[in-house]
Amino acid sequence: MKQVPKYAIIGNGRFARHIAHYLTLLKINFLQWARKTHSLDDLKTTISQSSHILLLISDKAITSFIEENPFLKYKTLIHFSGSLVTPLAFGTHPLMTFPSDLYDLKTYTTIPFIYDDNAPPFYQLFPQLPNPHYPLPPSLKSFYHTLCVMSNNFTTLLWQKFYQELTQTLNLPTHVIHPILQKTLQNLITNPHSALTGPLARNDQSTITANLQSLENDPFQNIYKAFLETYNLSSSKNTINSEFINH
C-alpha cells in the first residue's frame, strides 16, 4: 500500500484558507503554520510531522523561506505560484480565481491544476485529489501566467468599470448587466474563436470613432485604443498567416 502524504500548510492568507477548506471537505488531515501566530519551534514540529509541505505564502517569500529553514530540505515542497520557477520546490498552479468567500466541494474538485512537467506526477503529490491536472514545461510558465492575468484580471477591471458607470453615470440598476455578462462568458465557452462581436468584429469605423470620443478625458480611452491597435495587429498577422498557408 502506498503511503498517504502528510500535509502541512504554510501560511494563512486567502488562498491558504481555500486549500485548508478544500482538504477539510475531503476529510484530508493536515497541519498548519503561519508566521504571525506560530513560533519557529512550532514550525520545526509541524515540519517534522509532515511529508508534503504546501507553501501557501507570497511568491516573493517562497525561495527565502525555504533557504532560511534548512530542515525543509528532505521534505516534498510544493508551491502554488502561477509564475515562480525554482529548483527548491515543485509548482502546481490551480487555474481558478479565489475570492474571500470559500467554495463548495463540487467547485473545488473541478479546478484544473497546472503542474511543472519536471515534478513528480500530480497523483503522487496529491493522491486524494480528484482534480483534472496537466503538465507544463517551466519555460512556458511565465507566459502561461501572463495569459491568466490578462484574461481574468484585466477583464475584471473592464467589468468593474461597466458596473461603476452603470450606477454612477447612467443611473441604471446593476442587474441589467447580468444577461450580457453571462452570454459573453457562454459564447466564449461554446466557441471561443467566433465569440467576438461588435464594432471591432465588423470593422465599424464610425462607431469606433464615436466610442473613442465618448471616452474623452477618461483613462479608459487609452485602454480602448490599446485594444484596437492590438486587435488590428493580430488580425493583420492572422490574414498574412492564412494567405501563406493557402499558397
Q: Which residues pair with 31 in a beta bridge?
A: 8
Q: What is the pLDDT of residue 238?
A: 58
Q: What is the pLDDT of residue 235?
A: 75
Q: 18: which DSSP letter?
A: H
Q: What is the pLDDT of residue 29?
A: 97
Q: What is the pLDDT of residue 246?
A: 46
Indicate if the alpha-carbon torsion angle 119, 54, 82, 65 is positive or negative. negative
Q: d(Cα 82, Cα 95) in Å, to the nearest integer?
A: 8
Q: Compute and round to an integer the Cα radius of gyration of the chain.
A: 23
Q: What is the pLDDT of residue 233?
A: 86
Hey, what's the cell of 220? Answer: 479608459
Asked if 88 and 66 count as a contact pair (C-beta separation under 8 A), the reply is yes
Q: Shortest CA distance to 83 belongs to which of 52, 53, 58?
A: 58
Q: Which residues pair with 135 in a beta bridge?
A: 115
Q: What is the pLDDT of residue 244?
A: 35
Q: What is the pLDDT of residue 227?
A: 96
Provide block-wise average pLDDT over 10 residues at a time, the chain (247 residues): 86 97 98 92 96 97 96 96 96 97 98 97 97 97 97 96 97 96 96 94 96 98 96 69 41
Hey, what's the cell of 10? Answer: 504554510
Q: What is the pLDDT of residue 239?
A: 46
Whether 7-136 and 142-246 share one fold: the answer is: no
Q: d(Cα 140, Cα 134) in Å, to the nearest integer?
A: 13
Q: What is the pLDDT of residue 237?
A: 57
Q: d(Cα 19, Cα 224) in Å, to the nearest integer?
A: 37
Q: d(Cα 92, Cα 11) in Å, to the nearest integer?
A: 16
Asked if 93 and 80 count as a contact pair (C-beta separation under 8 A), the reply is yes
Question: What is the CATH number assigned to the segment(s) 7-136?
Answer: 3.40.50.720
Asked if 164 and 172 count as a contact pair (C-beta separation under 8 A), the reply is no
Q: What is the pLDDT of residue 236?
A: 64
pTM for this model (two decimals): 0.87
Q: d(Cα 236, Cα 239) in Å, to the nearest integer?
A: 5
Indicate if the alpha-carbon torsion angle 34, 38, 43, 47 is positive or negative. negative
Question: What is the CATH number assigned to the segment(s) 142-246?
Answer: 1.10.1040.20
Domain-wise residue ranges, the chain = 7-136, 142-246
Where b means 16+ CB within 10 Å and e means fewer, 2-21 reads: eeebebbbbbbeebbbbbbe
